[in-house]
Every structure is written in C-alpha cells, then in structure tokens.
Structure 1
C-alpha cells in the first residue's frame, strides 16, 4: 500500500521507551487513500509518540469497508526503498503486481511479504469479487546491511494453532509453538490472535522484544491496560509474558507485532526508507525520472478509465531532517 498523503511528513524513526512495566496506548489517525470515493485507513505507526516497534515502521488498519460505498482499493504503481511490505487481510481480496514480475492475490489469513531492497514498485487493487475489504498493511524497515539488497517476494499460509483459550496464526517469527518459515532481515514476530468473550491468554514471548498489540475487533486488557478497537498497545522490551483478556461482548481479534528495538536511525518519507535527507531526495528524483532502480509494473488496470498509470511523488518539504536516535 502506498502512503498517498499530498504532503507526507518526513519522519525520523525513533522513540523514548516508557517504563518496562507500563503499556503505552497509541490511538490511530484517519488518512484518506485518495480518489473521489476515498478509502480511509487508520494509521497507528508512525506517530510522534512512537515511530517503530522492533523493525515495524508503518501500520495501516482499514475496514470493514463496503466496497460499493468506499470504492475499494485502487493504488497505481508506486515505489518503495529500504523496506518490506507485509499484507494481511481479514476479508476481501487484493491483486498485487510488482516490478519483479510477481502477480499474486492477497487473501484472508495469507501473508504476502514483498522486499523492496534497493528499489521496487507495485500496484494494489481490490478484486471485482470483493464486497467488503478489511485488513492491515505493514512495513518493516530493513537494516543498513540489507536495505540495498535485491527485490524479493514470499507467500505463506499459517495454520491456526490453539493454545489454551487463544487461537494464533503466526505469519512471522514464532509464538505458542508455531513458527513461520519466512525469513526476515531482523528478528520479528507477527501473529493474528483470536480470543473468545471473557477469555484470557498469557503468552510466553522473547524478553528481548518490544511488542505492539493492535485491536481489530472487541475490547481487551493488555498488560493491565484497556485497549479499544483500532488502538495499539506498546510494551517495552523486558517482558517474558504478555497477558491479554477479552473485556468485550464479542470475540476479540488482534495483531501482535514484535521485535528487538531497531538499533539504527532511519528516515521515512512518502514510500521511501533511507538514512538521510539526501537519500530521500535522490529516491524521489529517480522515481520521477522513471529510473531503472524501481523497474515497471505490467498489467495494472485501474478502475478509473482516464486514471493515472503511476503515482507521482509529492513535493519534498522545505525542512531538513535532523536524525533523532532511538533510546
């Protein structure tokens, strides 16, 4: 998914951690994806309060949207650098095409992980059979040793695993005895959790990881702190267990993300992750000039007959980034 804000802020990713025993609550902000019937997403990362959870650097949560009203998803070819995109759906179907020649469908319960490396471009369009669109789009920052690497794409369908009262689909990393075979450049955890009404779960986790819990449906207590729908709870590294209780009147569905604190400074603007203002300016110029860095997407057909065939980059802001270090 592209960040299609007309004036995206330059983001220096880093945050001061709260005390290890507290849960930081991060509320989402609404961001329209553009078009006459703009699909709106709820963005919880990045924000001023927190930019990263492990290497997870971007989280859009959307739906359930009636496609006949919202228009669904129609994102023309757009570029990425220095990151991976992880697509996770609850309902609907999205057609993915990228400049590596990959043509794939994103379906509920299936991970599509695209690695941009040095540069890639891709398009995303909800399919004609989709009536309700509901899911999450996540980005993962690549460490310096991997950010100029080759493009790649991985697809994985995790089996649901029951552990006590919780059901988990582990799409990255390991949890409750289930482990994803998908390789990542830094240690990560990504899992969908389902918890029945009134149920609780105590999950054994890596104490070197910091964790984020996004509530998709229901209301939960996370480490003693209440979270409502579309809120993200952050737990700093140091915990070996995470306790979640469903306080709502419907089954709770959540995404649990984790990873060790990302030890590098990154600069994120529009769809690019770099290390400096100069990196971002160069990426933008190369995209505008149709550089071979990003390649081309073949086969994209948008819903608007006279629509654009690639997203132009917005203008750079006048301010220069001064990197801020992670604690």
Structure 2
C-alpha cells in the first residue's frame, strides 16, 4: 500500500530515552488519513518520533475495522517503491493487488502477500466490491545494502495455525499462532527474506495466556489489534506498539478481556545501516530519493520540465521504465504522482542499539545508479576487492533454512533450501549474491560449503536452483549427492 500523505513527514531520530535494558517502550499510534475526501484512517506506529526501526521493519500501518460504505475502502492507484519489501496482512475484507512484475493476486485474511520492490516496482491495491469491512496491517521492511537492488518479486503464503498450550493455569484454550515470516516458538515460514525477519499473528481467547520463546539477538515489537494485552505484566493498550530490546529469551502475553484479541509480533536483529525513507522510497541518501522521485515523475509524465533536471542533478539515468510498466489503471484513476519534496535536506534514520539511537554513520556506500540498458540497480562502483580486503565467513542458519556468505559481518549472499523426506533430502531452490559482491566467486564458495555440509550429514540433494544445477554439472565430485532420477 502506498503512503498517500501529500506532505510526508520527515522523522529525525535522536538518542532514545535511558531505561532498564529489558524495559518495554510503548509507542502511541498517530492517526493518518489516507486518500481524498473520503479518507481511510490508519494508525501509524512506525516510524515514530523516537523509533524508526524494529529490526529491518521500518513502517507499520494498522487500519480498520473500516466501513467501506462510509470511507470508500482502499483505493490506491499505481505508485512506486524502491529498496524495501511490503506485506499486506488482512483480518477482514479482500484487496486486489497488481504489480509491474506481472503479479495479480487477491489478498485475503490470514494469507501473506509479500512484495519485493528491490531496484524498483509499481503496484496498485483496491478493495474488492464484495468487501464491506476492511481491517488489517501494512508493513514494510528495508532491504540491506547488498540486496536493495534485488529483482522485483511477489510471494504468497498461507501459514498454518498452530494451537498453543495455555500458560494461565486455568485450562483456557484458544491460543493460536500463525508465523508468516521467520521462526517463532518452533513454527517457521519458508518465505525468502533478505535479512532475518520475524512476522506472526497471535490470537488469544478471553483470559488466555501464552509464554513464547524469543531469539535473544532480536529486538521485538508487539501490536495488539482488537483489544488491550498484557506483556510480561505490563498493559499494552489497543493499537499501541510495545518495543522490547534484544536480550529477552521469552515473553508472556495475556488477554485480560472477555473477547478474543489479536497481537501482531514483529522482530529482527537491530538493522546495522542508516536509511533515508521518504514517501514510498527507501534509499541511503537525499540524492537517491531525489533521483527516484524524478524517475517516477518522468515515467508517468508529471512535471516533465523539472524531472529531467532533478534526475540529472542526482546522477540518475531516466530512460525507459525503471519501475516497470505502469500497471493497469482502474476506474479512471491515474498513477499517483509523487508529492513535492520538502525544502530541507532529507536526513537518514539509524537503527537502535542497546536502548539508544546510533549517532555514528556506518560505512557509506556509493550512490545508486539505474542503468538504462538493464534497469538494474547497483552501487556505481562495486567493491570488487571486498572478498580480498574483508573477512569472508560462510555459515549455516538452519532456523532460516539457508547457508549464508558474509563479508565483514554483512550478509553478501545466501542459498536457500527446503527439507524433504523428514530431513533426509535438501531441496535447494534459490541462490543469490548481492550485486556489490558479484564476480568474486562467493556463490561458488557458498555452494561448495553447503554441499560439503550436506555430505557430512549424510543427506541428499534436489537442485531446483538453476545455479546449484550448473555448479553440479561443472563439479562431478558432488553428483553422487543428487537423489536418484533427478537430472542436473
């Protein structure tokens, strides 16, 4: 969903308030009207005045229950995104999604719809005619530096509801957990992410309580939807976001009311980069945002005189369709033009560290360039000697079902798999190395490590991933790992 504000606010984040390491921070939502005369109101908790990020999560809107007959529902014409992944998660209603990567989907309650903007995409979202009540959340996650120029894409996943044991000691039943991203309390999602992310919905019946095991290296956020909750003994009002710093091994969540409630749970390790976010763009500098805006305005024919000048000033190519072809227009609506930029320089936002907002900037990256021939987004000067100058480590992260190659602690690539036949077979389905690290042989080293680990564990391989298949054709010494009957 687009940020439809005509004057998007810039949030400058300073030092967080001092407090106990594991104390909760309660973030009050602010009301934002989205749309025209019949605006659909949303409650925004990320970004807030004092906190911009929870892990890689950088945007959280909570809307509804919204009477579509009064507000007109969701009506979001084509608009662009860069450098992020978006999630539409509904509690009620239905939304039609179309994007420039060719995906057309119906978003329904309890189904994950996960769009990767990467180097640039545009999409539209409209509530369907049959929708009477619209209710849900819209979430964005910033892409880390090596993958923010990733290929645009879209995934749909329907997580299974896991019934949890009541921890209240009163025999109450009715606690259910749906994990749509990452892993929580033994339940995992197979959906690919570019950084460690947790996303889940917890449903609690009246009087129910659960204790969930948490990843201690993650920071977490808890958003009660339909009623207040109690988190480790502290009340969290409805629609407020409770932030918990890294270090918690478990959390107790209770429903003190007499009606069922939902709690959205988000998490991830503190994001180690500063981002510049404005309107629907996530970049790393003011100049990048200016360039992205100019490219979109030029593509849809808005401000033709100034767009070219702005794009040239930012060093951005603007030929062709950098955000993909504008998706099919609906009901006479035109594509959304970008709002006017503020008369001040956009400032970056940093991740939280130990209860404080970081004030030092990480190692800066070169400006992003959209090349007119390939439309790929990549650093203008790729660090071709990164592997030689940095420390390369390859690790297995079984909780995420992938092997990762890291350069100086930054995840530069991964190969993802699914377990088959009770774990006896590993099905590799995707391998990717960030473009800033391409040409260094990291993918080959990564797959070699993974296949050696598979052999050591006595497992077999199904190479659905094209790169892994090509690797096996070139390295005959690993072909004995391929399951019988699978051609490489």
1:7 alignment counterpart: 7
2:323 alignment counterpart: 294
Asked whether the equivalents of residues 14 and 51 of structure 1 are also in contact (C-alpha less than 8 Å), the reply is no
Q: String of CA shifts for 1:86-125, please: whole Å, max 9, x gaps.
A: 1100000000000101101110000000000010000000
TM-score computed with the length of structure 2 as normaliser = 0.64
Displacement of 1:321: 3.0
1:40 alignment counterpart: 41
2:177 alignment counterpart: 168
Displacement of 1:324: 5.1
Q: String of CA shifts for 1:104-161, please: whole Å, max 9, x gaps.
A: 1110000000000010000000000111100000000000111111101110000100
1:264 aligns to 2:273 (yes or no): yes
Say which SS state the counterpart of residue 285 (structure 1) adopts.
Answer: helix
Asked whether the equivalents of residues 181 and 199 of structure 2 are also in contact (C-alpha less than 8 Å), the reply is yes
Asked whether the equivalents of residues 12 and 265 of structure 1 are also in contact (C-alpha less than 8 Å), the reply is no
The runs of 5 or more residues in structure 2 that have no matched partner are 167-174, 300-317, 352-357, 359-488
Asked whether the equivalents of residues 277 and 348 of structure 2 are also in contact (C-alpha less than 8 Å), the reply is no
Q: Following the alignment from structure 2 to structure 1, what is the Cα–Cα distance between the partners of residues 42 and 87?
A: 16
TM-score computed with the length of structure 1 as normaliser = 0.95
Select the structure that is richer in strand. 1
1:319 aligns to 2:344 (yes or no): yes
Displacement of 1:13: 6.7
Say which SS state the counterpart of residue 190 (structure 1) adopts.
Answer: strand
Runs of 4+ in 1 over 6 A off after TM superposition: none
Say which SS state the counterpart of residue 253 (structure 2) adopts.
Answer: strand
What root-mean-square deviation, in Å, do the aligned CA atoms of Structure 1 and Structure 2 show?
1.5
**1:107-118 equivalences in 2 (<5 Å):** 107-118=108-119
1:226 aligns to 2:235 (yes or no): yes
Q: Following the alignment from structure 1 to structure 2, what is the Cα–Cα distance between the partners of residues 207 and 143?
A: 21
Q: Larger radius of gyration, structure 1 or 2? A: 2
1:27 alignment counterpart: 28
The number of residues matched between the two structures is 323
- Greater RCO, CA 8 A, separation 6+: 1
- Bigger shift: residues 84-93 or 289-298: 289-298
**1:165-244 equivalences in 2 (<5 Å):** 165=166, 166-244=175-253
The runs of 5 or more residues in structure 1 that have no matched partner are none
1:248 alignment counterpart: 257
Displacement of 1:14: 7.7
